[in-house]
């Protein structure tokens, strides 16, 4: 059963991709959706067996690499962490497959699209179920490749091409870090199996552990779009919206989180790495939320919101609350997929208009979409008893209860980010649904609610966004819950759940919620009730400057284009033109042939045909000969052997340069 | 049996000689050459099945006692058998890749490739250093003629000359070293040399001479200039042989001569080798990024991959050396495949190799694009491909020797993705170029060629133990006890 969870999506992908012409569009729809739904059902069983009944499964297939003491095998591990990842991946993938049937109905490349989606699911499952770092890496790279293909789905568009290349290469930077991490892991532990590494990590030098943890984090940073390696994610919004929902919100970007949570037994023994992770996570959350404030593209707003939420998750890892991070991964997957699919429904019905300034007043046209977007938004900003409340607010509380500098930094930024999140969420709702219509009339004439194939996935995701946190929070993050068993390791010193629950002042506990409500209120106020605020702020020089800065996304892209890519290409040019085809050529082959030619022509010039010159040569030659013969007498005999060579050389040189 | 491998291609060329050149005979000649090389391939597979992987001895040894000036005996061990297999595998691929494009002087084209096969197999199987030199060099004139006669570029003569001069200049020192070595040992037989104790100071000199020859062949920085020219101007089959097997002569040379016979000097010089290899990786990768000629781009990318191979081989660990061999083989599959993609499939249809002229091929050539994409990914070293294993094992090996070398070597992971995906994306995606006429997707012949290069890459990437099992024993004899 466990392997068929993996194989079913792969089978669907293979058949619909390679035999797409034979099975047709409908065939591809039916096949991939059936495979995915079957896999989801099996995953539910596995969640029951492994997760709730607590019996992890390990499956050994065959040996992969066997070289001296290096032994890596195709081995799969289905423990609580794996099945907890299976649930969001497979459920969301299934609903997105169904949603895409309608979304892509007018596209000529349906089979290709569904093949990619299923292939992505397969690699994601492989990533979550590998029992060593190499098998995990297969899935890790696989999702990167499929992400490239999906961003490039509309392959004739230059923007898609650019975004796809950026996504792939930027992820490769993380892969490089991760690969170096593997080398270090292997050199220190002599193995890449989770079981060996995790059982040995308490006994390893802390510096070594820190280096490994930071390298692993580098990989996670690229995949999970953390500050510095984030700029591929907004670009990837060029992909069709279901792709954004599945890959760039719900699952692919959480691969980095999965890696960190999986590596908890390593991270826990390095306080330095945890410190770095906390700082990066909190900064990312804040950075992305501020950027989200000023954007106008509906998909980009949700993308930056994703980066921000990923920052929260990384922050939770940094304060050693892996189960909370995982809970937020799952919750976020549901409500963010909902937001994206809702945005997709809006874009689709509003004639592909993505600019929120050109929408507006959509409530009467799209009541259902409005409701699900609202549900998604308030779940995102963590209104009590919706799913975000059980994970996001908990992360912020837990950050306060650690009482360290980095955790307090995380608490402050996390709380502010909560307010900002609410602001941009309600800005989006205000501009898109409330107020007056701002688009052209012909668009509005044709707006209609999508058909039932779209409504069912949205409805399912809305249900999950509302209830998942309430139902499963005690299982995942409840005090004393041993759901994760040995899949997650938290050092006893780092457990702060009790502290967070019982000893924080109530005001500090409620601060994120209060800020959320304030932010949301401000968003409604500025964009809906009193637009004078906008006009006032537009006149301020300072706010204009801030706006430009935020709109440039802290100028990261400028930095990269100018200093990394520009310099790289410049160096490539210098190497290729100045060195490889310049200096080396001039010294090497060209130089050699020139020298030989010149020397030859010079020697040829000696042949003048004048008798006096020849007599000079004869005299010179005779003299040299005499000198050579009598040199032992003239020079010290001990120097003889070397000196004779030098003299021959000198005399020939003189002759040549005549 | 090993001698059969050497004789069959020669027999094939004998058969070709009496056939008169002419359009009517062309398909017959091609069939003769192809069938000969296929028979050789099947025979080498049989040889491999018979191979005993539990010993590091030379196997299938056969002696020609009739020759007196040297010890003409042949045999294979775990290190050489895969290079022999690679050669017998690549030759039919090379013949098939240029199946329809060569019309003039076809007979001599086929004969030279069959001859090249024999000569290359001979390099890998002879057990005598002098003969190794002779066969190592004998590849040059044949390839020189192939480039000059069948090449496509404008300055193919200069390229061929450079190719010849570069490699020949290095080999001169190798010849001197071989003479000195055989003078010292009294024989040039491998087994005798390996038993002989040579003091460190002479080892150093000998090592440098050998290294120069192999470094030019690899090629390592700064002797890289000949490779992209030779690739750009040689016919497709020439590029395939050059990338697939000729570069592996150097890999084999490192393993057989430098590490095996001169272990102390190898240990002494390994920081030098690492430095040069790292410079090669980064230098070649950066130069690759801006190449505009597709064949030159892939040639440069081979340089950087060979740099990783050298890092692995000189790591003095089993993982590193096995990784180096795996990456050599993987490069021998993937690089020819990419040459077939850009220099064969695209070039035959569009008549250009300049990246900027081609765009949006996926519109008319979807099947080709899939294969091209997979090979591009293999070139960047994604998991499930043999390249990934080779790269990772090489770098894991070198980490144990020098972590910084591994870190710098890993930059190739990013850079290879940059140039490979740029090439693929630029050629395949975007709007269909207005300069191009509608093109036909790949033919059955091209498909078979590409798929037969793909299958070993993927199968060995998933289950490399097929190869590794017979490498272990031979590779462990190469380790140097520090």
| Alpha carbons A612 and A616: distance in angstroms, whole number | 6
Q: Would you say residue A274 has pLDDT above 70?
A: yes
Q: Chain B within 8 Å of A148 (Cβ-Cβ)?
A: yes
Q: Which residue has the tokens 């390298």?
A: A215
Cβ within 8 Å, pair B392-A179: yes
Is A138 in CB contact (< 8 Å) with chain B? yes
Q: Say what the pLDDT of residue B216 is.
A: 92
The whole-number pLDDT of residue B386 equals 94
Chain B nearest-CA distance from A214, in A, is: 14
Report the share of chain B in percent with pLDDT over 70. 99
Q: How many CB atoms lie within 10 A of CB A621?
A: 12
Is the model's pLDDT at A602 over the cut of 60?
yes
A143: closest CA among A101, A93, A108? A93
Beta-carbon separation of B403 and A184 below 8 A: yes
- Mean pLDDT in residue range B284-289: 91
Confidence label for A643 from pLDDT (cuts 50, 70 and 90): low
Q: Give, as one character, the DSSP assignment of residue B182.
A: H
Mean pLDDT estimate for chain B: 90
How many residue contacts between A and B have a Cβ separation below 8 Å? 140
> Across residues A88-112, what is the average pLDDT?
92
pLDDT at A421: 94
**What is the torsional sign of CA A231, A133, A93, A280?**
negative
User: Is the model's pLDDT at B182 over the cut of 90?
Assistant: no
CB count in 10 Å sphere of residue A175? 27
| pLDDT, mean of residues B413-418 | 91
Provide the pLDDT for residue A636.
59
For A452-510, give the secondary structure using H, E and C: HHHHHHHHHHHHHHHHHHHHHHHHHHCCCCCCCCCCCCCCHHHCCHHHHHHCCCHHHHH
Cα–Cα distance between A146 and A252 in angstroms, integer? 10
Q: What is the pLDDT of residues A448-481, one digit of tens each?
A: 888 888 899 999 999 999 999 999 998 988 888 8
How far is A162 from A457, CA to CA, in rounded Å? 31
* A602 to chain B, closest Cα gap in Å: 23
Nearest by CB to residue B411, choosing from A65, A70, A176, is A176
pLDDT of the residue at B45: 94
CB contact under 8 A, B400 and A187: yes
pLDDT for position A632: 65
* Any A CB within 8 A of B291 CB: yes
* pLDDT tens by residue, A188-208: 999 999 999 999 999 999 999
DSSP letter assigned to residue B72: E
Could B413 and A184 be called an inter-chain contact, meaning their C-beta atoms sit closer than 8 Å? no
Confidence of residue B221 (pLDDT cuts 50, 70, 90): confident
Å between A422 CA and nearest CA of chain B: 38
User: What is the tens place of the pLDDT at every residue in B341-382?
Assistant: 998 899 989 888 899 999 989 999 999 999 999 999 999 999
Residue A45: predicted pLDDT: 95
* Contact call for A183 and B384, based on CB within 8 A: no
DSSP assignment string, B288-327: HHT--BHHHHHHHHHHHHHHHHHHHHTT-SHHHHHHHHHH
Instruction: Indicate the domain borders of chain B.
Output: 268-482
Q: Which of B151, B163, B156, B426 is nearest to B290 (CA)?
A: B426
Of B290, B360, B389, Cβ closest to residue A576:
B290
Q: Which pLDDT tens digit goes with each residue over B93-123?
A: 999 998 888 888 888 899 999 999 999 999 9
Are A237 and A299 spatial neighbours (Cβ–Cβ below 8 Å)?
Answer: yes
User: Using one digit for the tens of pLDDT, what is the confidence trace for A296-310?
Assistant: 999 999 999 999 999
Rounded to whole angstroms, the Cα distance separating A270 from A255 reads: 21
Does B155 lie at the interface with A, CB-CB under 8 angstroms? no
A307-331: string of b/e by CB count within 10 Å (b at 16+)? bbbbbbbbbbbbbbbbbbbbbbbbb
Which conformational region is residue B235 in: left (phi greater than 0), alpha (psi within -120 to 50 degrees), or beta? beta
Residue-level pLDDT at B157: 87
Per-residue pLDDT at A105 exceeds 60: yes
The encoded tokens of residue B92 equal 């039919």
Q: Are A183 and B406 in contact (CB < 8 Å)?
A: yes
Q: What is the mean pLDDT of chain A?
A: 89
Cβ atoms of residues A144 and A96 within 8 Å: no
Rounded distance between C-alpha atoms, residue A18 and residue B368, angstroms: 13
Contact B403 A580 (CB under 8 A): no
Residue B153 pLDDT > 80, yes or no? no
Of B22-26, B306-310, B397-401, minimum mean pLDDT range: B22-26
Interface-testing mutation among A65, A168, A235, A564, with chain B (most B C-beta atoms within 10 A): A65
On whether any CB of chain B is under 8 Å from the CB of A568, the answer is yes
| A406/A274 Cα distance (integer angstroms) | 9
Kindly state whether A455 is in contact with chain B, defined as any CB-CB distance less than 8 angstroms. Answer: no
Kindly indicate the confidence band of residue B331, based on its pLDDT and cuts at 50, 70 and 90: very high
Residue B320's pLDDT is what? 93
Q: Confirm or reject contact between A142 and chain B (CB < 8 A).
A: yes
CB contact under 8 A, B225 and A572: no
Cβ of residue B205 closer than 8 Å to a chain A Cβ? no
Does position A11 have pLDDT exceeding 90, yes or no?
yes
Task: For residue A8, give Cα distances in angstroms to A1, A26, A80, A92, A242.
Answer: 10, 18, 21, 16, 20
pLDDT at residue B311 tops 80: yes
Q: From the centroid of its chain, how far is CA A174? A: 8
Q: Is the dihedral of CA A100, A102, A105, A107 positive or negative?
A: negative
The pLDDT value given to residue A1: 86
A374: distance to nearest CA of chain B, Å? Answer: 38
User: Is the complex ipTM higher than 0.85?
Assistant: yes
Task: Specify the DSSP element, H or E, that contains A372.
Answer: helix A367-380
From A161-170, A631-640, B233-242, the region with the lowest mean pLDDT: A631-640
**A478-512 pLDDT, tens digit each:** 888 888 888 899 988 888 888 888 888 888 888 99
Q: Does B430 touch chain A (CB under 8 A)?
A: yes
Q: Which chain A residues are Cβ-neighbours of B287 within 8 angstroms? A: 572, 575-576, 580
Q: How much is the pLDDT for A639?
A: 52
Which residues between 358 and 417 in chain B have a beta carbon less than 8 angstroms from any beta carbon of chain A?
A: 360, 362-363, 377, 380, 382-384, 389, 392-393, 395-396, 399-400, 403, 406-407, 410-411, 413-414, 417
Pairing outcome for strands B59-64 and B72-76:
antiparallel
> Nearest CB to B287: which of A66, A186, A572?
A572
From the CA of A256, how many Å to the nearest CA of chain B?
A: 18
In sequence order, the β-bridge partners of residue A66 are: A71
* Range B101-119 burial, b when 16+ CB lie within 10 A, else e: ebeeebbbbbbbbbbbbbb
Beta carbons of A477 and A387 less than 8 angstroms apart: no
Residue in B399, B413, B463 nearest the CB of A172: B413
* CB contact (8 A) between residue B413 and residue A141: no
Backbone angles phi, psi at B388, to 5 degrees: -60, -50
Query: A502 in contact with B at a CB cutoff of 8 Å?
Result: no
pLDDT over threshold 90, residue A29? yes
* Between A580 and A39, the higher pLDDT residue: A39
CB-CB neighbors (< 8 A) of A165 in chain B: 421-422, 425
CB of A373 closer than 8 Å to CB of A274:
no
Give contacts of B425 with chain A, Cβ < 8 Å.
152, 161, 164-165
- CA dist., res. B479 & res. B469, Å (int): 17
Nearest CA among B216, B255, B328, B317 for reference residue B76: B255
**Distance to chain A for B289, nearest Cα, Å:** 6
Question: Would the CB atoms of B289 and A155 count as touching at under 8 Å?
Answer: no
Question: Do the chains contact at B430 and A155, CB–CB below 8 Å?
Answer: yes
pLDDT at B481 over 80: no
Judged by a CB distance cut-off of 8 A, whether residue B176 touches chain A is: no
Q: A572 — contact with chain B (CB < 8 Å)? A: yes
Interchain CB contact of A134 with B (< 8 Å) = yes
Q: What is the share, in percent, of chain A residues with pLDDT greater than 70?
A: 97
Residue B244's H or E segment, with its range, is: none
Q: Which residues of B touch A169 (CB under 8 A)?
A: 414, 417-418, 421
Least confident of A49-63, A117-131, A415-429, B52-66: B52-66
**What pLDDT sits at residue A618?**
86
CA dist B268 and B274 (Å) reads 12
Give which of B343, B383, B449 is closest to B93, Cα–Cα.
Answer: B449
| Cβ contact B382–A572 (<8 Å) | no
Band (pLDDT 50/70/90 cuts) for residue B482 is low
Residue of B nearest to A64 (CA): B463
* Confidence (pLDDT) at A599: 87
Contact B395 A179 (CB under 8 A): yes
Question: How many residues appear in chain B?
Answer: 482
């Amino acid at each position: 059963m466990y392997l068929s969870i993996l194989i079913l999506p792969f089978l669907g992908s293979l058949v619909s991709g390679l035999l797409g012409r034979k099975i047709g569009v409908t065939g591809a729809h039916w096949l991939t959706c059936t495979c995915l739904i079957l896999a989801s059902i099996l995953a539910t069983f596995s969640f029951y067996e492994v997760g709730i009944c607590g019996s992890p499964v390990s499956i050994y297939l065959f040996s992969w690499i066997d070289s001296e003491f290096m032994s890596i095998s195709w081995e799969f591990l289905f423990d609580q962490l794996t099945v907890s990842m299976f649930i969001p991946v497979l459920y969301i993938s299934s609903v997105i497959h169904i949603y895409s049937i309608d979304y892509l109905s007018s596209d000529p490349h349906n089979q290709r699209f569904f093949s990619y989606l299923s292939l992505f699911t397969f690699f994601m499952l492989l990533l979550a179920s590998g029992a060593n770092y190499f098998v995990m890496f297969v899935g890790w790279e696989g999702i990167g490749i499929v992400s490239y293909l999906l961003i490039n789905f509309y392959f004739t568009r230059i923007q898609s091409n650019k975004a796809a290349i950026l996504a792939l290469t930027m992820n490769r930077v993380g892969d490089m870090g991760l690969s170096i991490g593997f080398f270090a892991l292997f050199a220190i532990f002599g193995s890449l199996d989770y079981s060996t590494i995790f059982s040995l990590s308490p006994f390893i030098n802390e510096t070594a552990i820190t280096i490994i943890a930071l390298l692993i984090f580098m990989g996670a940073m690229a995949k999970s779009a953390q500050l510095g390696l984030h700029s591929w994610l907004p670009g990837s919004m060029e992909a069709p919206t279901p792709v954004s929902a599945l890959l760039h919100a719900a699952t692919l970007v959480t691969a980095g989180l999965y890696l960190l949570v999986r590596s908890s037994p390593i991270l826990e023994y390095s306080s330095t790495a945890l410190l770095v992770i906390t700082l990066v996570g909190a900064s990312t959350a804040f950075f992305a939320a501020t950027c989200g404030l000023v954007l106008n593209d509906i998909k980009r707003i949700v993308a930056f919101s994703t980066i921000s939420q990923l920052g929260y998750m990384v922050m939770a890892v940094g304060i050693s609350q892996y189960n909370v991070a995982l809970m937020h991964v799952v919750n976020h997957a549901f409500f963010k997929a909902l937001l994206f699919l809702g945005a997709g429904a809006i874009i689709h019905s509003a004639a592909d208009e993505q600019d929120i300034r050109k929408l507006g007043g959509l409530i009467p046209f799209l009541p259902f979409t409005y409701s699900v977007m609202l549900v998604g938004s308030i779940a995102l900003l963590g209104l009590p008893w919706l799913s975000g409340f059980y994970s996001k607010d908990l992360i912020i509380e837990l950050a306060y209860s650690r009482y360290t500098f980095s955790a307090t930094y995380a608490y402050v930024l996390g709380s502010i980010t909560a307010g900002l999140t609410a602001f941009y969420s309600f800005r989006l709702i205000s501009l898109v649904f409330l107020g007056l219509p701002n688009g052209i009339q012909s668009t509005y004439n044709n707006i209609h609610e999508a058909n039932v194939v779209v409504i069912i996935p949205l409805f399912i995701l809305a249900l999950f966004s509302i209830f998942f946190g309430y139902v499963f929070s005690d299982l995942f993050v409840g005090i004393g819950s041993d759901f994760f068993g040995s899949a997650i390791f938290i050092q006893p010193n780092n457990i702060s759940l009790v502290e967070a629950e019982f000893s924080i002042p109530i005001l500090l506990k409620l601060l994120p919620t209060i800020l959320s409500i304030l932010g949301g209120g401000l968003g409604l106020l500025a964009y809906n009730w009193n637009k004078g605020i906008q006009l006032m702020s537009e006149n301020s020089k300072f706010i204009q400057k801030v706006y430009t800065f935020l709109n440039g996304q802290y100028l990261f892209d400028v930095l990269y284009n100018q200093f990394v890519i520009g310099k790289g290409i410049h160096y490539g040019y210098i190497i290729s033109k100045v060195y490889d085809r310049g200096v080396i050529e001039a010294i090497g082959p060209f130089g050699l042939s020139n020298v030989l030619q010149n020397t030859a022509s010079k020697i040829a010039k000696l042949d003048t045909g004048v008798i006096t010159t020849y007599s000079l040569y004869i005299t010179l030659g005779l003299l040299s000969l005499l000198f050579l013969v009598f040199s032992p007498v003239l020079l010290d005999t001990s120097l003889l052997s070397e000196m004779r060579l030098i003299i021959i050389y000198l005399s020939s040189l003189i002759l040549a340069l005549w | 049996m090993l001698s059969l491998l050497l004789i069959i291609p020669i027999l094939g060329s004998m058969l070709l000689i009496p056939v008169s050149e002419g359009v009517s005979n062309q398909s017959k000649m091609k069939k003769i050459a192809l069938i000969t090389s296929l028979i050789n391939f099947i025979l080498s597979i049989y040889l491999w099945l018979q191979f005993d992987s539990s010993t590091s001895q030379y196997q299938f040894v056969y002696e020609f006692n009739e020759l007196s000036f040297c010890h003409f005996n042949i045999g294979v061990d775990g290190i050489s058998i895969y290079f022999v297999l690679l050669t017998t595998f690549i030759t039919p691929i090379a013949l098939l890749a240029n199946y329809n494009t060569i019309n003039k002087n076809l007979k001599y084209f086929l004969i030279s490739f069959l001859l090249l096969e024999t000569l290359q197999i001979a390099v890998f199987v002879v057990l005598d250093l002098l003969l190794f030199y002779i066969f190592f060099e004998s590849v040059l004139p044949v390839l020189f003629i192939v480039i000059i006669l069948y090449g496509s570029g404008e300055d193919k003569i200069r390229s061929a000359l450079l190719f010849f001069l570069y490699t020949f200049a290095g080999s001169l020192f190798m010849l001197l070293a071989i003479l000195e070595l055989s003078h010292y040992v009294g024989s040039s037989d491998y087994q005798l040399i390996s038993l002989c104790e040579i003091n460190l100071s002479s080892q150093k000199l000998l090592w440098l001479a050998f290294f120069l020859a192999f470094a030019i062949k690899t090629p390592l920085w700064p002797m890289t200039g000949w490779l992209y020219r030779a690739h750009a101007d040689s016919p497709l089959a020439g590029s395939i042989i050059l990338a697939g097997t000729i570069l592996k002569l150097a890999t084999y040379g490192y393993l057989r001569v430098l590490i095996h016979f001169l272990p102390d000097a190898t240990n002494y010089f390994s920081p030098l080798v690492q430095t040069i290899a790292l410079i090669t990786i980064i230098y070649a990768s950066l130069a690759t990024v801006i190449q505009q000629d597709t064949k030159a781009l892939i040639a440069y990318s081979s340089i950087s991959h060979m740099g990783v191979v050298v890092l692995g081989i000189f790591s003095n660990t089993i993982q590193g050396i096995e990784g180096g061999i795996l990456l050599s083989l993987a490069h021998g599959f993937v690089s020819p495949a990419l040459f077939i993609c850009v220099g064969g499939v695209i070039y035959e249809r569009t008549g250009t190799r300049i990246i900027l002229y081609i765009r949006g091929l996926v519109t008319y050539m979807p099947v080709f694009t899939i294969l091209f994409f997979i090979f591009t990914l293999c070139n960047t070293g994604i998991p499930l491909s043999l390249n990934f294993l080779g790269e990772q094992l090489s770098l894991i090996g070198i980490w144990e020797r020098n972590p910084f070398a591994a870190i710098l070597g890993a930059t190739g992971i990013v850079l290879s993705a940059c140039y490979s995906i740029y090439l693929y994306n630029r050629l395949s995606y975007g709007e269909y170029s207005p300069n191009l006429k509608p093109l036909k997707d790949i033919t059955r012949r091209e498909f078979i060629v590409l798929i037969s290069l793909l299958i070993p890459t993927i199968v060995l990437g998933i289950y490399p133990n097929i190869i590794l099992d017979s490498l272990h024993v031979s590779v462990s004899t190469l380790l140097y006890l520090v």
